[in-house]
Amino acid sequence: MNKLSVVVITFNEEIDLPKCLSTVKKIADEIIVVDSGSADNTLQIAKNFGAKTYFRKFDNYSNQKNYAMSKANGDWILSIDADEELEPELAKEILEKLRSNNSKFTAYSIPRKNIIFGKEIKYTRWQSELDRHIWLWKKGAGKWVGDVHEELKVAGDVGSMKYAKIHNQYKTVKEFLDMINRYSELEAEKKVKSGQGFSYFRFFFDPKYNFFVRYIYRLGFLDGWRGFVLSYLMGVYHFVLWVKVWDKTTNSAPAENKT
């Protein structure tokens, strides 16, 4: 049967990592953990599960995951985040695919169920099918691209898994606000580096648009108060993003051009 490498990138993940690794240990031939300097028990937990551990200073998600992938020796690679776990049905489905040596696919997309504020979010643009991505692929067939919201690009045909990963995402509003600050910083830097300047239109339009799409078009109101809060906070994300673009553009301008 094909060998499976499971790759995980970590930073201070002692709370979520045990559940994550316990759901992949039975199907993995090796577990690769690439850590970026955890100060908690993350590395010891990884070693207790028999994982091979490596250190790499974090610069962006794609580079971190490509480095982890380079350490894998399996025929197939499964990428999973430390706050994710496999449904038992998905673990079984993965094994069935690996046992099939005549598959025409070089990769598989997997849906993801998102648990936010203690409950699965079924609408608000967090539907599992809308959060379907490639997370299982043949070694050598894929590469992560994108500094923010990274995606795996593969050569060859892509199949679809029926069952889902479970993403134990944001337990508190503070965690969500930390995400807003972290991701908006990375995305703002990307926009400025690519030459995209501040836009008054996007500054006023994007927050309202994202709230409307999530709460109305994507039926966020059916997720109750969580749907409203998440739609509002994603509007805040885009507000903060454009404020940071303005700040970086202004502060990076030559002194004689500043007013």
pLDDT in tens, 110-132: 999 999 999 999 999 999 999 99
Q: How far is 240 from 190, CA to CA, in rounded Å?
A: 14
Nearest to 123 by CA among 6, 4, 257, 231: 231
Nearest to 77 by CA among 106, 100, 102: 106
Compute the residue count for the chain: 259
Q: How far is 121 from 196, CA to CA, in rounded Å?
A: 33
Read off the pLDDT of residues 80-96 as tens digits, 9 standing for 90 and up: 999 999 999 999 999 99
Q: Which two tokens stand for residue 203?
A: 């500054």
Cβ-based neighbour number of residue 45 at 10 Å: 22
Read off the pLDDT of residues 35-72 as tens digits, 9 standing for 90 and up: 999 999 999 999 999 999 999 999 989 999 999 999 99
Q: Quick one: DSSP state of residue 256? A: G
CATH topology of domain 4-168: Spore Coat Polysaccharide Biosynthesis Protein SpsA; Chain A (3.90.550)
- Name residues whose C-beta falls within 8 Å of residue 174's C-beta, 6 or more positions apart in sequence: none
